[in-house]
Amino acid sequence: MTQHDGKIFGIGFYKTGTTTLYDALRILGYRTIIGDKLGSYPGADDGATLLRQIQAGDYRLPTFDMFEAFTDNPYFSIWRQIYDQFPDAKYILTVREEKRWIDSCVKFFRHRRMRPMREWMFGRHANPASSPEARQAWLDAYRAHNAAVREFFATRGMQYFEFDPTTEGRWDRLCAFLGAPAPDRPWPHANPTRTDQPWRPAWRRLKRQLGLELRDPGEGDED
């Protein structure tokens, strides 16, 4: 079997092992990007520029010419428009058990700075820890996203793979999907959600007081 040499899109939601998939694809030799973090490529600005392009209806992102594989936002958010451009690509839906997933999101994003993509997706519910309504909005979005992806790819099995990278311990299934030889190194386990650092809330309050960070949408005054 020849190793897949076209595009690969990770279209799983936040906190579904997207960093582990990113690491795995890089180990397999693919030029891979995760999200739009500052410094990830020339011009990367936490998604602000890409978001303006997407909102203008232009889904031909500049990163498509720079990389071979893609994970995290904005790629999972615009997977339908991506498929229109790359109907022969491989698509990977990363998933986690629902309760473990939402608990991880709440813990991870509780005191994180707000990024444009997350606010675009969820508006006033962009912080899943901010209220029961926000938590439910994230759960609803996660369920709807996974259901839509599964329905779409139900008849496209040769280019679709679904798995939980956080519980995967072997290379076999991903490598079989991509036609790649299994590397002689352990399966990566990246970016586990740890207990939040106790200094983070105070640091975010200071940045807001200095005008370096905006308050979360829909967030009330902090105690």
- Type of residue found at 218: G
- Per residue in 82-107, pLDDT (tens digit) is 999 999 999 999 999 999 999 999 99
Instruction: Give the bridge partners for 33, in sequence order.
Output: 70
In the structure, what pLDDT confidence band is assigned to residue 56 with cuts at 50, 70 and 90? very high
pLDDT at residue 191 in the model: 59
CA 159/CA 88 separation, integer angstroms? 7
Token readout for 140 is: 């609803």
What 3-state DSSP class applies to 160? Answer: strand
pLDDT for residue 221 is more than 50: no
pLDDT for residue 204 is more than 60: no
Token readout for 75 is: 């790629």
Q: Name the average pLDDT for the chain.
A: 88
Contact yes or no for 117/77 (Cβ under 8 A):
yes
2: number of Cβ within 10 Å: 6
Q: What is the CATH number of domain 8-209?
A: 3.40.50.300
Report the Cα 188 to chain-centroid distance in Å.
17
Contact yes or no for 71/21 (Cβ under 8 A):
yes
pLDDT at residue 146 in the model: 98
pLDDT for residue 199 is more than 70: no
Alpha helices in 89-199 (DSSP H): 98-109, 116-122, 132-152, 172-178
What 3-state DSSP class applies to 34? Answer: strand
Q: What is the domain partition of the chain in residue ranges?
A: 8-209
- Per residue in 64-78, pLDDT (tens digit) is 999 999 999 999 999
pTM attached to this predicted model: 0.85
- Type of residue found at 153: F
